Structure 1
């Protein structure tokens, strides 16, 4: 049987990283797998380019990408996403200088599930704790993700639904209204909701894209309407977009 050392070593790297409790440094991979350091870095570069490994800059280490969905449970994948996103979320909340709550969520069916959260001082107490599910069409993070889908894809998520669930008697009540709202989101560049989850609270959000251009997660900021002037919402949307872009790069293994 013929042997292809590069392919074999790439699989060994995947197996080794999958077996660890956290990200692994390149020097560790080289030492433990007995692969020359130069070859190790070449393998890592290719595996990042193909979306199988992601870089954790703060730890100077590498971990499995969400692309490797067959490795580990859904909760483990959420843990990897949380680890990638949390440092960025902390910086985002601090950079706003406002009493906001930052969060990261993912789409699960027609719900968003919150996987990371960071609150500034004097920020409001919210229902969006880690693990909480909320209807995607009512949340800014959910809308930012749905905005990357076509109307046909949205309807595939909401089959035979003449009316949409309301939480606070606000938000789109039909798929046609949701389509219009998502088109506004695409034009604006960031999603927004106000009073549709919690009265007198609003949120802005932007989706982070993986190497296939799929909205793998969303970065959101929530705040009391009375605490943040409406003229600052655009700035918060722009700040969320910068952070979502940084997370996209991490998901693609570019940083």
Structure 2
């Protein structure tokens, strides 16, 4: 790895300060937060403003906010993002940690479609495939995605669905029961299903968000019941939440 350039490092440190608070800063704010000389900060801010990375705030003289050049760069980055590819990279990291099957899925109508998958190395593991489609209400990823929908959109999709089919005796088939489960998912921030899509498998899932904060996918860990326990559920719920958060950051999300 080559030598880091101090001036570039300082400029980037300044830029990253604007991710905090209300997104506006003055030169004295930057001096105080970074401990840099006033002359250095003035020169760097002047340069960044000249290149449209920072712009003055009209209603607050002496303060700056991020400029349009950052949006242009971010948009170009977003154009090159491949959700499935990024999802597989994170799924691989999660799978290496827990040695269980990890999926990422998106929602289409009231079904989920799996777009990334990394297998467990165990002889006993979940058998599935990319592109597989399942009723959302029978899966942890699906419940996570349904729970993220605005209420009116959720109700419209459920009305079009007509009925909730059962994949196993444990599948939810009542609309009121499903709504209650989705409320729990929202409060918890994660979803769990026990043998609802497969009689021998339980799953945990967490939401994946894009730069706008919208839920665009869900990441899950699937575990055969022979390796399932309450302790394992808690452990994997934390792990899948971290994986989903990491993937969200890669997609540009910077919320809590």
Matched with 2:86 is 84
What CA deviation, in whole Å up to 9, does each residue of 1:53-80 have, x standing for no partner?
Answer: 23xxxxxxxx534xxxxxxxxxxxxxx2
Higher RCO, 1 vs 2 (CA within 8 Å, ≥6 residues apart): 1
What CA deviation, in whole Å up to 9, does each residue of 1:99-125 have, x standing for no partner?
Answer: x10011111111110111111210644
Per the alignment, in what secondary structure is the counterpart of residue 227 of structure 2? coil
Contact between 1:124 and 1:223, CA under 8 Å: does it hold in 2? no
Matched with 2:199 is 199
Which stretch has the larger CA shift, 222-231 or 195-204?
222-231
Contact between 2:102 and 2:119, CA under 8 Å: does it hold in 1? yes
Matched with 2:116 is 116
Give the Cα–Cα distance (whole angstroms) in 2 for the partners of residues 123 and 81 of structure 1. 29
The structure-2 alpha-carbon separation of the partners of 1:207 and 1:244, relative to structure 1 and needing over 3 Å to count, comes to: same
Q: Indicate whether 1:188 and 2:188 are aligned.
A: yes
Q: CA deviation at 1:245?
A: 0.8
Matched with 2:30 is none
Decide which structure has the larger Cα Rg and report it: 2
Give the Cα–Cα distance (whole angstroms) in 2 for the partners of residues 218 and 44 of structure 1. 31
Structure 2 gap ranges (5+): 1-49, 54-66
Give the Cα–Cα distance (whole angstroms) in 1 for the partners of residues 146 and 76 of structure 2. 25
Per the alignment, in what secondary structure is the counterpart of residue 226 of structure 2? coil
Matched with 2:77 is 53
Where do 1:1-255 residues align within 5 Å? 45-47=70-72, 49=74, 51=75, 53-54=77-78, 63-65=79-81, 80-96=82-98, 98=99, 100-122=100-122, 124-159=124-159, 163-252=163-252
Contact between 1:106 and 1:115, CA under 8 Å: does it hold in 2? yes
Q: CA deviation at 1:252?
A: 2.0
* Aligned-residue RMSD, C-alpha: 2.5
Give the Cα–Cα distance (whole angstroms) in 2 for the partners of residues 147 and 53 of structure 1. 29
Q: CA deviation at 1:190?
A: 0.9
Per the alignment, in what secondary structure is the counterpart of residue 154 of structure 1? helix
TM-score (norm 1): 0.67
Give the Cα–Cα distance (whole angstroms) in 2 for the partners of residues 204 and 123 of structure 1. 20
Give the Cα–Cα distance (whole angstroms) in 2 for the partners of residues 215 and 93 of structure 1. 22
Per the alignment, in what secondary structure is the counterpart of residue 217 of structure 2? strand
Per the alignment, in what secondary structure is the counterpart of residue 158 of structure 1? helix
